[in-house]
Amino acid sequence: MRPARLTGDTISGRVTLVGAGPGDPGLLTVAGREVLSTAEVVVVDRLVSPEVVALAPSDAEIVYAGKSPGSHHLDQDGIHAVLVDRARAGANVVRLKGGDPFVFGRGSEEIEACVAAGVPCSVIPGVTSAFGVPALAGIPVTSRGSSQGVTVVSGHLPPGSANSTIDWRALAVSGNTIVVLMGVGQLGKIAAALIEHGRPGSTPVAIVERGATPAQRTTVSTLDSVDRDARTAGVRSPAIIVVGEVAAPLPVAGAASAPTLPLRGRRVFVPRSRSRSSALASALRHAGAEVLEETVVLPTADADALPASGWLVLRDEDDAVALREGLQRARRDARSLAGVRIAAEPAVAALAGLVPDAATVPADEPSATIPMSWEALPLSDAAVHALTSGDIDALAIPSSGTAAALGQIAQGLPPATKVAVMGERTSTAAAEAGLRVDGIAREPGIDGLVAAVTDFFR
């Protein structure tokens, strides 16, 4: 049920902090899924998977509050304001946070802001990445024979910082496992401090990047060489750092320390047209990539240019949706096609509300295809942040329409983000949109575009 609106001074909305787990949507708790299914507003973090966000109702407002190193879409005060304002308006608000809300998630601050504003609030815990990600990599953070304790710390501040509350000396001499979150940028200083305070340089270290996603990758080293090894491997956040004798992964599924697929550890953005099932995204995932997909163009038929007779061919789902949208915009219906015969597969024709006359056009009979135009759609806040903050390794652009639509982020695309396109026509459209093109598929089709992306990272 939708919550009641404001009545007098009573706030009928509420805020629920939900831990989404470390990445895999299967690690969301049953309680978390139930609350998310009734949300009217979802305020979502950068590391929450799109599959988890998709569990919210289709009419829910999605507010992106992602943060990455050096780039905050909303600052913490802004997040507090959104939570309180939407709840005051009577909405059922879910604050969806990666991992567990109370493990370096600033969940306590958000609860305090809600309490101070008189907003009802509650917490549903999640699987923390501090323990869940090492487990998925085959690393037990405790072991009866080698580590009888574990300490979880933030690596956001370097050892020796005046603002740090971490006693690195005590950690070094404890002998317990150390799990460091948000520590990739300070990795060399952390390793040096632990060695300086007595932890042997030969102590094993494991770094697990993008845990619980298809791009999960583990780099194994030791304290005295981990900084160099991490640079050589190109380690990037988000990553969990495990220090201790337990950091030699056990042989469990998904725990391999080296990539076995060409795009393992890479994140690829795929722009698509509405309704087309993305075989490209599927092929990239099979190559090991973590894929972020977003609809960037809306295909629409020009109703005034539709034929009045002969055969009209609907080649795929895009054609069918374009025809349906074009007729609706022109305030027409299927009666406009009374003199036309439809050639399409039944499932495709059904998307346009039609029954086909045949699957294909009979030989030597005149036919036409849908007169198509493409309307660019605004990118979501999450996609803009991912593309402009360096979260994306490559773009795989399959068509001229999708290339043109990406002009809205062309100037903000980091130099390190590679761009591959399907062919020369798409390359021209990308250049006209202001996008830099780094690679063009040498062969037509999806496999050629996947190969062009793979070539960037050989």
The length of the chain in residues reads 458
Q: What is the pLDDT of residue 72?
A: 55
The answer on pLDDT for 12 being more than 90 is: no
Which residue type sits at 390? G
d(Cα 295, Cα 378) in Å, to the nearest integer?
9
Q: Is the separation of the CB atoms in 5 and 13 below 8 Å?
A: no
The answer on pLDDT for 322 being more than 90 is: no
Per DSSP, what are the bridge partners of residue 276? none
Domains of the chain with bracketed CATH: 14-127 (3.40.1010.10), 131-247 (3.30.950.10), 267-297+376-455 (3.40.50.10090), 303-370 (no CATH)
Q: Is 208 helix (H, G, I), strand (E, B) or coil?
A: strand
d(Cα 268, Cα 372) in Å, to the nearest integer?
28
The answer on pLDDT for 8 being more than 50 is: no
Q: What is the pLDDT of residue 205?
A: 97
Report the chain's mean pLDDT, rounded to a whole number. 89
Q: Is the separation of the CB atoms in 20 and 52 below 8 Å?
A: yes
Which residue type sits at 112? E
Contact residues for 279 (Cβ-Cβ < 8 A; gap 6+): 446
Q: Provide the angle, in degrees to the nearest 10, between the axes of the packed helices 446-455 and 279-286.
A: 40
d(Cα 403, Cα 410) in Å, to the nearest integer?
10
User: Where in the sequence numbering do the catalytic residues fall?
Assistant: 45, 67, 182
Q: Kindly list the distances between the CA atom of residue 389 and the CA atoms of 67, 215, 347, 386, 439, in Å, as whole numbers in the listed order.
A: 9, 18, 40, 6, 21
If we measure between CA atoms, which residue out of 264, 269, 255 comes closest to residue 215? 264
Q: Is 399 helix (H, G, I), strand (E, B) or coil?
A: coil
Per DSSP, what are the bridge partners of residue 243? 178, 205
* Lateral strand order in the sheet of 394-397: 372-376, 290-301, 267-273, 394-397, 418-421, 439-440
Q: Is 438 helix (H, G, I), strand (E, B) or coil?
A: coil
Can you point out the beta strands (E) in 290-412? 290-301, 310-313, 340-343, 367-369, 372-376, 394-397
Mean pLDDT of 414-434: 93
Question: What one-character-per-residue DSSP string does 273-338 give?
Answer: ETT---HHHHHHHHTT-EEEEEEEEEEEE-GGGS-SSEEEE--SHHHHHHHHHHHHHTT--GGGGT
* 367 or 3: which leads in pLDDT: 367
pLDDT per residue as tens digits for the range 186-244: 999 999 999 999 999 999 999 999 898 877 889 999 999 999 999 999 898 889 999 99
Q: Is the separation of the CB atoms in 337 and 354 below 8 Å?
A: yes
- Of 49-63, 112-126, 298-312, 386-400, which one has max mean pLDDT? 112-126
Q: What is the pLDDT of residue 7?
A: 37
Q: What is the pLDDT of residue 95?
A: 97
DSSP state of 445: S
* 300 or 199: which leads in pLDDT: 199
